[in-house]
Amino acid sequence: MEDLDLTHIPYDPVTFNPEIDNPTFPQLEQPQDNQMTVDGIDLGRHLFYDPILSGDLSMSCSSCHLPSGSFTDNLALSKGIDGIEGTRSSMSLLNVGFNYRGLFWDGRIFSLEEQALLPVEDPIELHASWPNVVQRLQESELYPEKFRKAFGIDSKDQITKDLAAKALAQFERSLISSKNSKFDKVLLGEDVFNGQELLGYEMFFDIYQGSNPDIPDAQCFHCHDQPLFTNNAYENNGLDESQTYEGFTDLGHGKVTGIIGDNGKFRVPTLRNIEHSAPYMHDGRFETLDEVMDHYISGGHFSPTRSTFMDSIELNTVQKEAMIAFLKTLSDPNFNENPDFSNPF
């Protein structure tokens, strides 16, 4: 019989302290029973990029969450190993550890640990079974040692789906963008906006609050507030028309809470690195930031749950271009290329 014992491998966990280096940021909360360690993140990173997690060994988490797309797949709707298209667009995992008010577009899941269990068995994603995946991990050359180093298990048969999910969650919490965008550098006094970016900034945050007729309120900050550029709330930004509470094609958050006042609401996503994660919205309906701005300028479609902040906004072409220029200051040149986040294989 094969030797399952791992105790000859040292278990020496080293705490990982995320480098946020931005005083405006909140604390990164971590579950008591899953604090980040260097080896935990390393294991999670390997699992994230490894097709060992999929039924036919053809796809991994990274197939739909690619670093080049700010950890999206740059598709309107994602496709799993069987080529079946889902109904939602892949989400950026940038700063995902700060999403304390529910995950997914509709908020149906609460923790990254819980989330990480789902794609493996989802028939339109990795379409495998956890017992098979766990068996592959136990029999692999690579993983038993990594699980030992990350979690101190004594034997290969202590590898479980829950430990795999914990490691994935640790890696995901490390995907932080907090200090390298032009926006952050301006705030930290290390750079300055050009005139166009400054105009966009002033409209985004309504700096003049109506006192300057040349600088209209674009209303964005109510939902996409700094520093995360999301308030993590669920809002209806007027994507779909419905005369009634029940008439939405996708009920969104309402399907989760059962409250009709939540119908048609979706989680406000971060705008950090938004330049790299097209197409936009939960169903990827807008190809460009230009189309997104046209939507906000029009105020979108009527429905009973549309936010009162979604009144049409009056921006001329110069102002619209300035908004887009400001949004691009949220791009983090180091994030997509960060060697710590890249494919380790």
Q: In this chain, which stretch among 31-39, 175-183, 222-230, 336-344 interacts with ligand HEC, using CB under 6 A?
A: 222-230
Q: Choose which of 187, 275, 309, 338 interacts with ligand HEC (CB under 6 A).
A: 309
Sign of the CA dihedral running 97, 98, 102, 107: negative
Least spacing, CB of residue 153 vs ligand HEC, in Å: 20
With a CB cutoff of 8 Å and minimum separation 6, the contacts of 308 are: none
Nearest to 170 by CA among 342, 343, 17, 2: 17
Q: Choose which of 282, 303, 305, 319 interacts with ligand HEC (CB under 6 A).
A: 282
Q: In this chain, which stretch among 15-23, 32-40, 148-156, 273-281 interacts with ligand HEC, using CB under 6 A?
A: 273-281
Q: Is 281 in the site for ligand HEC (CB under 6 A)?
A: yes
Nearest to 251 by CA among 140, 129, 146, 108: 108
Compute the distance between CA of residue 100 and CA of residue 119 in angstroms, rounded to an integer: 20
Return the half-sphere exposure (C-beta side, CA atoms, 13 A cut-off) of residue 18: 25
Q: Is 219 in the site for ligand HEC (CB under 6 A)?
A: yes
Count of residues of this chain found to bind ligand HEC when the rule CB under 6 A is applied: 51
Question: Looking at beta carbons only, is 7 or 343 nearer to ligand HEC?
Answer: 343
Q: Choose which of 128, 292, 325, 330 interacts with ligand HEC (CB under 6 A).
A: 292
Q: What is the largest CA-CA distance in the chain?
A: 80
Q: Is 178 in the site for ligand HEC (CB under 6 A)?
A: no
**∠ at Cα 62 (60, 68), nearest 5°?**
155
Taking the chain, what is the end-to-end CA distance rounded to the nearest angstrom? 30
Q: Choose which of 90, 181, 305, 331 interacts with ligand HEC (CB under 6 A).
A: 90
Dihedral of the alpha carbons of 46, 268, 266, 219, in degrees to the nearest 10: -160
Question: Looking at beta carbons only, is 112 or 150 nearer to ligand HEC?
Answer: 112
Q: Is 147 in the site for ligand HEC (CB under 6 A)?
A: no
Return the half-sphere exposure (C-beta side, CA atoms, 13 A cut-off) of residue 169: 26
Binding stretches for ligand HEC (CB under 6 A): 53, 59, 61, 63-65, 78, 80, 86, 88, 90-91, 93, 96, 99, 103-105, 112, 115-116, 119-120, 125-126, 168, 172, 218-220, 222-224, 235, 237, 239, 266, 268-269, 271, 274, 277, 280-282, 292, 296, 307, 309-310, 323
